[in-house]
Amino acid sequence: MDIDKIIAGCVQNDRKSQELLYREYFPTMMSMCMRYMGDRDKAAAIVNDGLLKVFLKIDQYGHKGSFEGWIRRIVFRSLSDAVRKDSNYLKFMVFDEYEVSNNESVLSKLYEEDILKLIDLIPAASGEVFILFAISGYSHKEIAKKKGISVGTSKWHLSEARKKLQELILKIDSNSNAG
């Protein structure tokens, strides 16, 4: 597959090129969205919305960096917009599904701004990786390249950020219950 030829076709609004691009990237983008959404239909709607934005903005792609990374950021913004409408946005970024159900009372008191403020309290490198991954939509490979670290180190920082944020959130909850 010649991605440059497909991009050029999409810029010209060629339906066949758009279909090729859609078929190539839909599974990857769907996988990314399913990590954050429990519902396949909602995830598919988000991917479709994101890919529509890709088609509308494809003439703005500057051929710098990974084309898939460019698409991923656009689709992730669509995901962020959709999930942000739901108050559980960053809560699911910090806690996995099991942990959310076990800490529902804690999380119902938290707002996105509270979690963003807590990111400032964790080690800077882990906080940066968390923001790049969970909010900006970068892959670990892209983060590794951007930060000059290994993919494994990026994954470690994300895991550490999640652990530290969970500890801070649970500490806040235990303090509010004690008082």
Q: Which pLDDT tens digit goes with each residue over 6-64?
A: 999 999 999 999 999 999 999 999 988 887 666 788 889 999 999 999 999 999 988 88
- The answer to whether the pTM exceeds 0.85 is no
Domain extent for 43: 3-84
Predicted local confidence at residue 93, as pLDDT: 59
pLDDT classification of 97: cutoffs 50, 70, 90: very low
Query: Of 62, 84, 106, which residue is a domain's last?
Result: 84
Note whether 27 and 12 are same-domain residues: yes
Query: CA gyration radius for the chain?
Result: 18
**CATH code, domain carrying 61:** 1.10.1740.10
Closest to 75 measured CA to CA, from 126, 36, 38, 39: 36
CA end-to-end span of the chain? 62
Query: Of 84, 102, 137, which residue is a domain's last?
Result: 84
